[in-house]
Amino acid sequence: MIDVSPKLRRAFEHGGAGMKVLVLRLGAMGDILRTVPPVRLLRRRLPEATFGWVLDAGWEILLRDHPDIDITIPLPRKEWDAAAASPLGWPSLLGHVLRFRERVARFAADLTLDFHGNLRSGWIGRWSGAKVRLGYSGHQQKEGNHWFTTHRVPSGDRRTPRVERNLDLVETLGIAREPLPDGGLALPVSGREEAARIVRELPQRFALLSPSVSAKQAGKKPPADLLAAAVARLHEHGLPTLVVWGPGEEDHAREAVAAAESAAILAPPTSLPVLAALIERATLFVSGDTGPMHLACALSCPVLAFYGPTDPVVNQPWGAPFRTVYPPQRLYTGIKKLDRRCGFDGLTADLARRAVDELLAESQDGPHRGPSR
């Protein structure tokens, strides 16, 4: 365990009684979800501690009612960016920052875990007032983040899976890596009710396909013909595929349905709670390297993930049976700017079909998924 004050060491010895831990992982969905299991491991060691989490406003829903997170502190990044766009907004920006800083300081953290590793998270850690601020050295931190942390963990190999790298941080506190818990997400009942209505006409076993990516990550969207090959194979195995989508994603969803012909069904637009409840019921989840894919992992749903411009090792699924489909001759480096120059060239329909066969064979003997209808 790292060298900490006698007060903090006593708190560790007594289950964290009177101790406050602040987690810094601001976004986005997949990164937050991959941080949850290591934080849950720490919570098991410190059941009496109070755990807070700073994250970008809008993502609080991921941790709402989570049994291991006591407080979420949303960072109003969009408001900050809007205010910073013009000198006329700078006084407003200062007010936003000061109010947020006061809220972070009010939490009165004893320990911060900076999983994010940039300038913004560094300042937030400093504002927390915590005497122990744990972060990374090397390539996992940027923008001078290491100047804000008091204890640092080496970043290690660039191709280390993200969940493993997150585990490095809590392992420094004397926390064993195993057994790694699932995401422990608490699903709203309203999401389950809507999901039940959506799948009412589907058989017990079905797959979900999420073909979309965020506008900023357009290059990560798998080609429609590859997704269609996977959907067709699922159909041959007797699994219909429900294509899910959210705001601004309808065109991608309709493209996927058209490419898959009669093997896929277009779902109505789904909110995050409804998507989570659908995943809870699904036999298998298909997508690219996206936040919803990591949501499926957090809910222990078998995952088939397509990779092109992002590293399938660094960003690999976790916590559930999975198969990754990526160009077999591609040499990934773990350096984003280099890896993202290449797309999905080299991926074939045969690779997609084979991955479906293997994943279904691995997961078919597992426990029944989803609530009964």
**C-alpha separations of 272 from 188, 194, 214, 293, 301 in Å:** 10, 12, 14, 12, 16
Task: Using DSSP, state whether 284 is helix, strand or coil.
Answer: strand
CA pair distance 111, 156, nearest whole angstrom: 23
Residue 41: inside a domain, yes or no? yes
* Counts of helices then strands in the chain (DSSP H, E): 13, 12
Question: 63 pLDDT exceeds 70?
Answer: yes
Residue 367: predicted pLDDT? 43
Same domain, 122 and 241: no
Residue that is last in its domain, among 140, 171, 202 = 171
Residue 355: inside a domain, yes or no? yes
Query: Whose CA is closest to 26, among 95, 77, 100, 81?
Result: 77
Same domain, 14 and 154: yes
Least confident of 23-37, 197-211, 340-354: 340-354
Residue that is last in its domain, among 144, 171, 198 = 171
> Exposed/middle/buried for 216, CB within 10 Å: 0-12, 13-18, 19+?
exposed
Least confident of 71-85, 100-114, 180-194, 274-288: 180-194
CA pair distance 254, 223, nearest whole angstrom: 13
Residue 166: inside a domain, yes or no? yes
List the Cα angle 139/125/316 in 5-degree steps: 40
Residue 46: inside a domain, yes or no? yes
pLDDT (mean) for 231-242: 97
Which two three-digit tokens encode residue 218? 């357009």
Same domain, 194 and 127: no
pLDDT (mean) for 153-169: 91
**Within 10 Å of residue 338's Cβ, how many Cβ atoms?**
12
Same domain, 165 and 258: no
CA pair distance 15, 11, nearest whole angstrom: 6
Question: 366 pLDDT exceeds 50?
Answer: no
Burial 339-358 (b: 16+ CB within 10 A, else e): beeeebeebeeebbbebbee
Residue 296: inside a domain, yes or no? yes
Cβ–Cβ < 8 Å for 331, 339: no
**One-letter identity of residue 141:** Q
Residue 130: inside a domain, yes or no? yes
**Within 10 Å of residue 133's Cβ, how many Cβ atoms?**
24
Residue 277: predicted pLDDT? 95
Residue 369: predicted pLDDT? 54
CA pair distance 40, 52, nearest whole angstrom: 12
Count of the separate structural domains present in the chain: 2
Same domain, 132 and 194: no
Same domain, 126 and 193: no
Find the domain containing 44 and state its range.
6-171
Question: Tokens 């989508």 sit at which residue?
Answer: 245
Same domain, 210 and 117: no
Q: What is the largest CA-CA distance in the chain?
A: 65
Which two three-digit tokens encode residue 164? 């493993």
Residue 272: inside a domain, yes or no? yes
Question: 330 pLDDT exceeds 90?
Answer: no
Beta-strand ranges (E) seen in 60-188 are 71-75, 111-114, 132-136, 151-153
Q: Which CATH number goes with the domain that contains 59? A: 3.40.50.2000
Same domain, 252 and 142: no
The mean pLDDT value of the chain amounts to: 91
Same domain, 72 and 218: no
User: According to the per-residue pLDDT averaged within each range, which of 195-199, 329-333, 340-344 is highest?
Assistant: 195-199
CA pair distance 334, 340, nearest whole angstrom: 10
Question: 189 pLDDT exceeds 90?
Answer: no
Same domain, 230 and 323: yes
What is the crossing angle of helices 224-236 and 250-260, to 10°? 50
Residue 176: inside a domain, yes or no? no
Same domain, 43 and 87: yes
pLDDT (mean) for 56-84: 93
Residue that is last in its domain, among 171, 205, 238 = 171
Cα torsion 189, 191, 196, 197 to 10°: value is 120
Same domain, 101 and 198: no
